[in-house]
Amino acid sequence: MGREVKTRKKTVPKKATTRKTTPKKKPASRKRAPKPKVESAVEKDVLLSSEECVRLNLGSGDILLEGYDNIDLKFGTEVYPLNYEDESVDEIRASHVLEHFPYERIQEILAHWVAKLKPGGVLKIAVPDFKKLAEDYLAGMGGNFQGFIMGGHQTPEDCHQVVFDGETLLEALVDSGLVRIAKWESDITDTATSPWSLNLVGYKPASADCGIREAGIQGVLGAPRFGPVLHMRCAFQAFQRLNIPYCIIQGCFWSHNLCNGIQNALEEPGTEYILTCDYDSVFDANAVLELYRLLQAYPEIDAICALQGKRDLENILISMRTEDDKPITEVPSQMFMNNTLEITTGHFGLTLIRASALRDFPKPWMNDAPNADGEWKEGKLDADISFWKKWREEHGKNLYLAPKVVIGHHVEVVMWPDRKMKMTYQTVNEYYTDGQPSAVAR
């Protein structure tokens, strides 16, 4: 159990007389949208029936919930900062509260609330769904759009300072450290029941490592007969810390080795995830932990890979295509500021895949193929790309990049002393193409 809660007891009136800060008026001439699908296990780890549970209803207004500490300015209590010890609260319910804060402070507010939660505690957020409101407004539907977007303006605090859609709220919750994020439905009649309400719930990890030691992750490496030592040092340091077994299969056919290693790992009892590696990937335990945390936060993702550059090239190891299957050659840099980015093909340098997605993935998993001229040149299909093409195009599974999880790509470098005895560095490909650098010639 968490530490004892140290908070000032407040006397809450049984019946309030002022209006709730966010307008409750329903749209006048629109059909009610279907309720969002809610994850069935959304409260399975929170002991809400325990008498020792501490639950907060932030910005309660007139809607007082039994079993909760109802917190609102009208009672002289603040939703931020909260007068509770860190890791002392089981549940925080913030229905149409977050949008009242300035947008540049949203992460600060969320981090504060998450800090108050016990490990395993739950944070329920409801805010106006700006995307849904905009769509309905442009469609000519009736309703109190001004009030829902801008606030009721009954008091100086009753105004909205930020807008959210599903993506921005999800990103904010992930950035605050929550996992197992899903939709939730309000079990009382309040603003969170409106079809214009965006409701997401997330859990604070039960431990600093998000339970990765018991997660059933199997590491797999298809290794050459000989290779650099640096990767093995990275892998053993990371996997020993995280209690991840590492299956290494050596041979001259990389794709054969990797597929056999994945199959062996899937046959191990309790395997829930496969973590693939390449012998030239450079990473640490934090990169593995963050990939795992992201899969916990985004249960709809089948596979996610770290951001890694191509060897000797100024590109990254991903490809993206438009909906009409045209290649995307330039990606706006702001897209790499999110926690996840859906991609078409990736790599296996450090990629975490759900075992459930692999178990129904038909074999063979990898098939390389020559180009139309029967040559292994431009236009050929590599084994790893064939995997991802089947994964997405033939079997409807998804692949995401984790732009904030950056790993290295170990390459050979030739070091030359120039005429001033300073070192000049050259990649192997540059040496093959250009020979000895002119700066070092005597």
pLDDT given for residue 51 in this prediction: 53
How far is the CA of 81 from the CAs of 29, 72, 92, 102, in angstroms?
39, 12, 13, 15
Name the least confident of 26-30, 231-235, 366-370. Answer: 26-30
Q: Above 80 in pLDDT, residue 353?
A: yes
Instruction: Decide: 94 and 184 in contact? Cβ < 8 Å.
Output: no
pTM for the model stands at 0.78
Same domain, 160 and 269: no
What average pLDDT score do residues 285-306 get?
96
Same domain, 195 and 253: no
Same domain, 80 and 139: yes
In the predicted model, what is the mean pLDDT of the chain?
A: 87
Query: Quick one: CA torsion of 333, 335, 338, 342, rounded to 10 degrees?
Result: -140
Same domain, 296 and 428: no
Residue 297 lies in a domain: yes
- Structure confidence at residue 125 as a pLDDT band (50, 70, 90): very high
Same domain, 171 and 250: no
Share of the chain above pLDDT 70, in %: 88
Residue 248 lies in a domain: yes
Same domain, 277 and 420: no
Here the CATH number for the domain that contains residue 116 is: 3.40.50.150
Same domain, 102 and 245: no
Same domain, 401 and 421: no
How many residues in the chain?
Answer: 442
Here the CATH number for the domain that contains residue 386 is: 3.90.550.40
Which residue among 148, 177, 203 closes a domain? 203
Residue numbers of the domain that contains 169: 55-203
Same domain, 216 and 159: no
Total domains in the chain come to 3
Burial class (CB in 10 A: 0-12, 13-18, 19+), 170: buried
pLDDT given for residue 391 in this prediction: 97
> What confidence tens digit (pLDDT) does each residue in 29-81 have?
333 233 333 343 333 333 333 457 999 999 999 899 999 999 999 899 999 99
pLDDT given for residue 63 in this prediction: 92
> What confidence tens digit (pLDDT) does each residue in 359-406 have?
999 999 999 999 999 999 999 999 999 999 999 999 999 999 999 999
Which residue among 180, 203, 226 closes a domain? 203
How far is the CA of 395 from the CAs of 99, 299, 303, 318, in angstroms?
40, 18, 13, 19
Q: Above 70 in pLDDT, residue 179?
A: yes
